[in-house]
Amino acid sequence: MTLSTAMHTAAPAGSGAATPLDAYTPGDFYFSSGRRAVLGRGGAVVASDVPAVACTEAVRAALRAAPRNGGRPARVVGAVPFDTERPARLMVPEQLQVTDGSGGDIGGVGAGGDRVDRGASAGVAPASCAVTACPSPEDHMAAVDEALSVMHRAPELHKLVLARTLHLRPEGALEPGRVLRVLARRHPGAYTFAADIPAAPGAGPRAMVGASPELLASRHGDAVRSCPLAGSAARSDDPAEDRRRAEALQASAKDQVEHAIVVDAIAEALRPLCGSLDVPVRPRLVATPTMWHLATPIVGTVADRAVTALDLALALHPTPAICGAPTAAARAEIGRIETFDRGFYSGFVGWCDADGDGEWAISIRCAEVDAGGARLFAGGGIVAGSDPAAELAETSAKFRTMTDAIDEAVAAAPVRG
Ligand SMILES: C=C(O[C@@H]1C=C(C(=O)O)C=C[C@H]1O)C(=O)O
């Protein structure tokens, strides 16, 4: 593989010949998709005083005003929260390092499925951390029951995505960069990211760190892509059982319905923006090291080049994969039933350049990480026929992306005397 490394302006201080992943330090932005990786450092936060849903004009203006980077268009990088009435955390970095392989989008498909690396811990939480679940497992099951009752009373609500959190506090300091590098190694097919997010006054930097298998939207030239995931099963260490679970997922009528709701919503949102759009009729199976998912790779061509990757992401968000359907009713129920603030979880993270090209992944399989610990998030779609215990188990399995990585990062931390 030949990597052409474009140092857009100066390389980040002290990075030498380091890759973007090596160069990452807390406060930076990092995003990789297959062989493409972006590291951003410094620069003003853009559109911090407007709701994220209305940020595109300010972003366009900031990109127009920014110098080109080593002959390439300027880029905005960062994260958008679940609630787009709140501001995004987007930057036009002062220093940008990009490695541009020939890999193209990974689009969630084949997301590292053959490279199963289950790591050391099979449990939900690293042994080396104090753990608090919010809500408790019992309360999450009660919330799923409540969602099922709501959908029974109001059948026009087809799907509701409910999440829960785990707070991990290791004995020593947690290093976001270490967690990021473990994730990148364990999940080579994922969208791996670390995005700076607001921290408490006086506290050190805080980052949203994760390895998402899900592409919300990308645009490269005319080519538009989205790869929604919905319908999940935990992987098994036993190959025969692993295959059985994958086949059961593909054969599950409930999961096919749950998946189709997402694909229909995305196709409907993309159609007015696209000249052509190809939506496969049946989903395929994709694997991460911890989960099987149903996935539908949607491809199209943008009708008007003025529509940027950020415009596409904002037009699609929140998809029923992380919110529900219909959107407004599902969002209202999430606000009523969930007992915590999603913040940047289930928003999106990535980059967009001044030509409108860009990539945005859904911020899942992730955690808010600072030196004191991590707040992990995992959710799942509830439809008629969902089972509270199975939904709880699904979120436990989804947590493993981050618990396994934090476990390894903490175990590998040097002892400080
Ligand atoms: C909400 C999450 O995942 C989403 C929900 C899925 C499901 O319900 O099957 C599958 C993939 C994601 O779209 C999460 O990982 O936290």
Please, which pLDDT band fits residue 112 given cuts at 50, 70 and 90? very low
Catalytic residue, chosen from 85, 138, 156, 159, is 159
Label residue 235 exposed, middle or buried (CB < 10 Å: 0-12, 13-18, 19+): buried
Among 263, 322, 349, the mutation site with the greatest number of ligand 1 atoms within 8 A of its Cβ is: 322
> What whole-number distance in Å separates Cα of residue 111 and Cα of residue 362?
14
Among 261, 296, 364, the mutation site with the greatest number of ligand 1 atoms within 8 A of its Cβ is: 364
Residue with the two structure tokens 């940008």:
96
What stretches of 228-357 adopt beta strand conformation (E)? 229-234, 274-278, 284-287, 291-295, 298-302, 324-325, 348-353
- Model pLDDT, residue 415: 55
Q: Mean pLDDT over all residues of the chain? A: 90
Q: Could you list the residue range(s) of the whole structural domain that residue 289 is in?
A: 106-190+207-411
Taking a C-beta distance cutoff of 8 angstroms, is the pair 204, 75 a contact? no
Query: For residue 191, how far is the Cα from the chain centroid?
Result: 7
- For the stretch 88-98, pLDDT in tens is 999 999 999 99
Helix (H, G, I), strand (E, B) or coil at 237: coil
> Residue 364: CB within 6 Å of ligand 1?
yes
What stretches of 288-336 adopt beta strand conformation (E)? 291-295, 298-302, 324-325
Dihedral pair phi/psi, residue 228, rounded to 5°: -65, 145
- For the stretch 7-60, pLDDT in tens is 443 344 444 558 999 999 999 999 999 879 999 999 989 999 999 999 999 999
Range from 3-7, 138-142, 289-293, 300-304 carrying the lowest mean pLDDT:
3-7
Please, which pLDDT band fits residue 100 given cuts at 50, 70 and 90? confident
Annotated catalytic, 159?
A: yes
416 CA from centroid of ligand 1 (Å)? 38
| pLDDT higher than 50, residue 118 | no
Residue 101 lies in a domain: no
Residue 417 lies in a domain: no
Residue 16 lies in a domain: no
Dihedral pair phi/psi, residue 238, rounded to 5°: -85, 115
Structural domain total, the chain: 1
Range from 34-38, 164-168, 260-264, 374-378 carrying the lowest mean pLDDT:
34-38
Residue 186 lies in a domain: yes
Helix (H, G, I), strand (E, B) or coil at 85: coil
> Residue 214: CB within 6 Å of ligand 1?
yes
**Mean pLDDT over residues 62-83, rounded?**
93
CATH number of the domain residue 339 falls in: 3.60.120.10
Q: Does ipTM come in above 0.90?
A: yes
Residue 227 lies in a domain: yes
pLDDT higher at 114 or 299: 299
Which is the closest atom of ligand 1 to the Cα of 259? 9
Dihedral pair phi/psi, residue 190, rounded to 5°: -95, 170
Residue whose C-alpha is closest to residue 79's, from 57, 103, 108, 46: 46
70 CA from centroid of ligand 1 (Å)? 38
Annotated catalytic, 398?
A: no
pLDDT higher at 417 or 384: 384
Please, which pLDDT band fits residue 338 given cuts at 50, 70 and 90? very high
> Residue 178: CB within 6 Å of ligand 1?
no
- For the stretch 136-154, pLDDT in tens is 999 999 999 999 999 999 9
Residue 313 lies in a domain: yes
Among 82, 140, 161, 298, the mutation site with the greatest number of ligand 1 atoms within 8 A of its Cβ is: 161
Residue 233 lies in a domain: yes
**Mean pLDDT over residues 274-284, rounded?**
97
Taking a C-beta distance cutoff of 8 angstroms, is the pair 151, 157 a contact? yes
The CA-based angle 181-184-185, given to 5 degrees, is 90
Residue 288 lies in a domain: yes
Name the helix (H) or strand (E) containing 410: helix 388-411
> Residue 161: CB within 6 Å of ligand 1?
yes
| pLDDT higher than 90, residue 120 | no
- For the stretch 201-234, pLDDT in tens is 888 899 999 999 999 999 999 999 999 999 999 9
